[in-house]
Amino acid sequence: MVFSGLLFIFIYLPVTLAVYYLSPPKWRNAWLFAANLIFYGWGEPVYVLLMVFSVALNYASGLLIAAHRDRGRAIVAVNTALNLALLIFFKYYDFIAENLSAISFLSFMHPIGVTLPIGISFYTFQTMSYPIDVYRGDAEVQKNFVSFGTFVSLFPQLIAGPIIRYKSIASQLSERRVDVKRFSAGVTRFCAGLAKKVLLANNIGALWDVYASRDPSSLSAAGAWLGAIAFSFQIYFDFSGYSDMAIGLGHMLGFDFCENFSYPYISRSITEFWRRWHISLGTWFRDYVYIPLGGNRRGLARQLVNICIVWALTGIWHGASWNFLLWGVYYAVLLMLEKLFLLRALDRAPAAVGHVYSLLLVILGWVLFSVEDIGSCLRYISAMFGGGSGLFSGEAAYYLRSFGPTLAVLIVASTPLPKKLYSRLPDKAVSVLTPVLTAAALLLCTAYLTDSTYNPFLYFRF
């Protein structure tokens, strides 16, 4: 993983960009499509075929819908079923088989060890939304197979988002420009994201690994909370860092990708948190599931049912495990309670109350998300409230002292404060500091990647 990261930064990316800029504009999509497939197939070459099939399926569906508007609804239904069938087989078959095999008349079902294609949840949602938008009239049909393939397989955001919709970059597929200012802004954004992932997420992830590997019943309440807080920061800086890298790479290629995070840990409610966290996934479920189900237009009772459906699907989208479904239901309950009365109470309460309320519930939610074994998960939560080995321990004090400075940096970095302070600097200072900090971030990340064997991307498995 470390070697692959350095190979990407110093060989694959420069070569891809160099060939891209040296190519005539009419050939750039073809080069990107080929480079995207090489990038995707680096670890699992066989799944390039699955990617190409997904591209062909949805490209053909768009053409069929444009040619047969009167049958568009049926074409969308078949296309959606085929996309979901692929996703369910590769991501959920073993989970379903393992649970159903306990039923006597279904005992013929057995897990077969299907390997999860990297990023299949992300690119399936991207491709599946295209025929729907063509049917709705929200997007023009794409007649160029290479251009459509380029959209689906764009390497900057292919394996961990953000989820890009065709209609948002359709015009950019046919015409885009990059000047020095835009390219340099992309490099800065990429290096900032790399630093968030490598210098922040990886370092605090080491603390979570300590507590995740322990028997929850042996943890003190302080230690359990410290571990859960560590994971909360790890997943935020890991995923938002990758999104920043994707957006920065997009700028270098002339694309504008949507923002995926907006300081979620400053939220004053769970409703606000989910408007700030993984924005592209939330808006996808809103536009393609929640609103088609009726949204909030058919009364409160139906709205609550729709919330339950959306959040059960959101949970299971993240992984084939009961804890993800439980995590989705957990948020469904919280959002329904806020919709019924809690949100009004929070609006009247001091801001600090909403912040503390949101942070505590989000941290608890990350425990449900991160600990896949339900029994271990519940024991871990019990330890957070004193059900382990007491309230405090020398070990917790040691790790708090060791990671205290890192936690302080993470707290500040998860707020808009650094950006606000930086924006108040004189333009001349910014023009000097930005390239210096960008180069320093790249240098430090390279040193870290060279020296460390710990470099997980948490969202690759989704």
Alpha-carbon span 3 to 101, nearest angstrom: 40
Alpha-carbon span 176 to 32, nearest angstrom: 13
* Long-range pairs, 282-286, Cβ under 8 A, ≥24: 284/125, 284/129, 284/163, 284/165, 285/310, 285/313, 285/314, 286/310
Alpha-carbon span 364 to 338, nearest angstrom: 17
By CB atoms closer than 10 A (0-12, 13-18, 19+), residue 284 is: buried
Q: Please, are residues 146 and 30 in contact by the beta-carbon 8 Å criterion?
A: yes
What is the per-residue DSSP string for 43-73? T-TTHHHHHHHHHHHHHHHHHHHHH-GGGHH
Alpha-carbon span 187 to 247, nearest angstrom: 10
- Rounded to whole angstroms, what are the CA distances from 262 to 240, 274, 414? 9, 10, 9
Is 278 labeled as catalytic in the residue annotation?
Answer: no
By CB atoms closer than 10 A (0-12, 13-18, 19+), residue 238 is: buried
What is the gyration radius of the CA atoms in the chain, in angstroms? 23
CA angle 226, 229, 230 (to 5 degrees): 85
- What backbone torsions phi and psi does residue 119 show, to the nearest 5 degrees? 75, 10
By CB atoms closer than 10 A (0-12, 13-18, 19+), residue 451 is: exposed
Angle, in degrees to the nearest 10, between helices 374-384 and 221-253: 110
- Rounded to whole angstroms, what are the CA distances from 256 to 177, 249, 251, 439? 11, 10, 6, 23
Nearest to 245 by CA among 261, 232, 265: 261
Region class of 263: left (phi > 0), else alpha (psi between -120 and 50), else beta: left
3-state secondary structure of 93: helix
Tokens of 69: 């508007």
Active site residue: 68, 110, 251, 318, which one?
Answer: 318
- Residues carrying an active site annotation: 318
